Amino acid sequence: MTKSLVVVESPTKAKTLSKFLGSDYVVKATVGHVKDLPENDLGIDIEHGFRPQYGLIHGKKRIIQELKKAGKDVAKIYLAPDPDREGEAIAWHIREVMDGNNRRFYRVLINELTRRGVLDAIQNAGPLRQGLYEAQQARRILDRLVGYKISPLLWREIKRGLSAGRVQSVAVRVICERERDIWAFKPKEYWTVTASLRSRRDLEPFRANLSKIKGKKPEISSREEVEEIVRNLESVHFVVRKIEEKENLRNPPAPFITSRLQQEASQKLRFSPKKTMRIAQDLYEGIELGDEGPVGLITYMRTDSPRVSTEALQAVRRFIHNRHGKAYLPPKPNVYKSKKGAQEAHEAIRPTSMDYEPEKISQYLTSDQRALYRLIWDRFVASQMVPALFLRKSVEIEAGETIFTVTGSVQKFPGFMAVYTTQKDREETGEEEKVFVPTLIEGETLELLPPLEPEQHFTQPPPRFSESTLVKELEEEGIGRPSTYATILSTIQDRGYVRFNKGRFHPTELGFLVNDLLVKSFPSLLSVAFTAKMEDVLDAIEEEKIDWVKAMEDFYGRFTRSLQRAETRIPELKKEATTTSLVCDECGSPMVIRWGRKGFFLACASYPECRNTQDFVRNEEGEVVVRKTPEETGQICPDCGSSMVLRQGRFGEFYACSQYPRCKTTKTKHLDIPCPREGCDGFITARRTRKGRTFYGCTSYPKCDFALWNKPVDRPCPQCGAPFMTEKSTRRGPVIVCATCKSRS
């Protein structure tokens, strides 16, 4: 009994740990969760304290047998899944399935996969954390109750395959409400006035903007108003009244937490949150660095705390001093405050060692890994540098009853900006640095170079959410947690509730329908405030301040009452038609939007007297427009060279030649997921069997016969790395399952 067993969830992580622990330890991987609630049953004994009925996940029997065999003759078993709620649940379930003596099991929390980090974690191993496990269990049960009870309503009343989620549905609501704000927005006209001026001592002209009229901010709403102001200004003197020079400090940003990493990676690298987290997981679990073997390059990537260890602070300060010089190093380390409710268990996301500069290990990283590692490295280094120093010069120029202003900035010392700038830094300093401000004297009269330049503007509607701004919105509203943002954004797209087009989220008609039905039927459950409060409840369970069963009882009582009302209300709400501004071209009645078995369509409000129907689309302003021609695809017909258009058939959408019926060429519309068969250049597409059952196969058939029943989802498996997962239908709704390792996302 000399060896010890260490159990992790990832094979990559197991390989990295084995390198550091040596021959005295056996390291095994579970490849994700080993137990979960059943797929085709609620799996919760509501009458007996919401007791979950966990079962072994399909395909994990062999893994459990290997764990039992490996742990049979060892004195200690170290449970080292990720140091978060999901990892804690894996640890508890491993202990349960191994039927071991509780005294042999120790919980290991590894924040960084380095030799020092791993050995320290083993040395400081402790008991399993019950509060963390119960918080995960409560979240899992909450989500199961909501999904299992509501999804069948959507299946029955709208179409099979839909689902509702406690958090995802609120995210869809946020996007739908923003879209309706955009549609309802009424632009307002306003005008600005710019004057070209110059000093009689300095002939180079500069531009100043009208900033005050009679001491107040100007509100010019019509051409008549601005023309009168311009006429009055043509006969007055422009006199320099006030010159102000001030040094401004711009402080460095905090090191990354999960949400900020996702936002910056989206803005700077155009990475989706899902992609960012997948790459960060690779960097955390270990990258092969040649002869050195696998090395964890960053600390744990799911955190909402900017805390940094003393050792890491000392290391980065030495790096800054040696690389950039004493002038860039503050006298003391910069300390950043956590937001309210942040969990302090993990450090910020940072490099595990300052020895692994991005340039030194670049050859071992993919281009995406290099980009994200560089982003994390630069942000961490910048966070411990001195502020940037700017000289801001502002000049007020009096002209009759008006004031014109010109403001510009000059960078005197780059500080942290020598290494890293945020989007906010670039926006706030970029424009001012472009402005020319000459050397002027208070009291001098300036020459006006006519004409004055009035310019018409219109207020803009609120922007649609990008991936970055949606993550920010969810974070600020307390919806979800750092570990869930990427999954939320993926799920709402996979379900067809929103589409991501030109970098922005747009609700689909299906998303609007489901959202409206759920919001009207479950107003509390779908409220942002309630969802944020439930996250606080889960945090309190984790801290063992609230009993998780009591929290479930409080939730389920309200939820059951809402569910009973929804059983009768959703069918009624679904029948409601949305009136449009369009008129039936056959009888003159209004056209309304209805839902049918093939989706949304325009129908005459006088049905059944008038049976006129049409397809429609919405423009950017949300207006309903009749779709008169098939949608262009940008593809070219391989037979006649004409453009291909998107059409709707019995079995879904397909590409057809625009010259039909003269040219009858068609092409299958695929899912943009490459066929996994080695050497195959086809894509996966939906097909039908002779009996009409849908399956998914390769577009290169019959050359390639790859096929599967479940719909592929463009989401790599977080456990085994398979290029895509699949959507499996169960009685409680669809679940995302890996076709290779059977783990669920």
Same domain? For 100 and 34 the reply is yes
What is the count of structural domains for the chain? Answer: 6
Does position 344 have pLDDT exceeding 60, yes or no?
no
Query: Is residue 139 a part of any domain in this protein?
Result: no
Query: Is residue 671 a part of any domain in this protein?
Result: yes
Domain end among 458, 493, 511: 458
SS (H, E, C) 489-531: HHHHHHCCCEEEECCEEEECHHHHHHHHHHHHHCCCCCCHHHH
352, exposed or middle or buried, with CB in 10 Å at 0-12, 13-18, 19+? Answer: buried
Same domain? For 397 and 485 the reply is no
Report the distance separating Cα 48 and Cα 549, nearest Å. 10
Q: What are the pLDDT digits (tens) for 348-386?
A: 999 999 999 999 999 999 999 999 999 999 999 999 999
Same domain? For 275 and 304 the reply is yes
Does position 332 have pLDDT exceeding 60, yes or no?
yes
Q: Which residues are catalytic?
A: 300
Same domain? For 725 and 645 the reply is yes
**Domain range for residue 45?**
4-128
- In this prediction, residue 125 carries a pLDDT of 94
447 CB contacts (<8 Å, ≥6 apart)?
A: 197, 198, 199, 200, 238
Same domain? For 566 and 501 the reply is yes
Q: Which of 124-138, 407-421, 628-642 has the lowest mean pLDDT?
A: 628-642
Q: What is the CATH number of the domain that holds 510?
A: 1.10.460.10
Domain end among 319, 350, 383: 383
Query: Is residue 294 a part of any domain in this protein?
Result: yes
Query: Is residue 715 a part of any domain in this protein?
Result: yes
Same domain? For 584 and 645 the reply is no
Query: Is residue 710 a part of any domain in this protein?
Result: yes
Q: Which of 345, 363, 326 is nearest to 539 (CA)?
A: 345
Same domain? For 505 and 428 the reply is no
Q: What are the pLDDT digits (tens) for 554-577?
A: 999 989 999 988 888 888 777 778
- Which single residue is written with the structure tokens 């424009």? 431
- In this prediction, residue 460 carries a pLDDT of 93
Q: What is the CATH number of the domain that holds 16?
A: 3.40.50.140
Same domain? For 647 and 733 the reply is yes
Query: Is residue 422 a part of any domain in this protein?
Result: yes
- In this prediction, residue 253 carries a pLDDT of 95
Judge whether 455 and 416 are in contact, CB under 8 Å.
Answer: no
Same domain? For 596 and 650 the reply is no
Report the distance separating Cα 496 and Cα 491, nearest Å. 9
Q: Is the pTM of this model over 0.85?
A: no
Q: What are the pLDDT digits (tens) for 690-733?
A: 666 778 888 888 888 888 888 888 878 877 778 888 888 765 55
Same domain? For 376 and 267 the reply is yes
Query: Is residue 332 a part of any domain in this protein?
Result: yes
- pLDDT band (50, 70, 90) for residue 735: confident
Tokens read off for 415: 């500080």
Domain end among 458, 489, 508: 458
491 CB contacts (<8 Å, ≥6 apart)?
A: 165, 168, 736
Query: Is residue 134 a part of any domain in this protein?
Result: no
pLDDT-above-70 percentage for the chain: 94
Same domain? For 677 and 584 the reply is no
727, exposed or middle or buried, with CB in 10 Å at 0-12, 13-18, 19+? Answer: middle
Q: What is the CATH number of the domain that holds 307?
A: 1.10.290.10
* Mean pLDDT, residues 187-196: 96
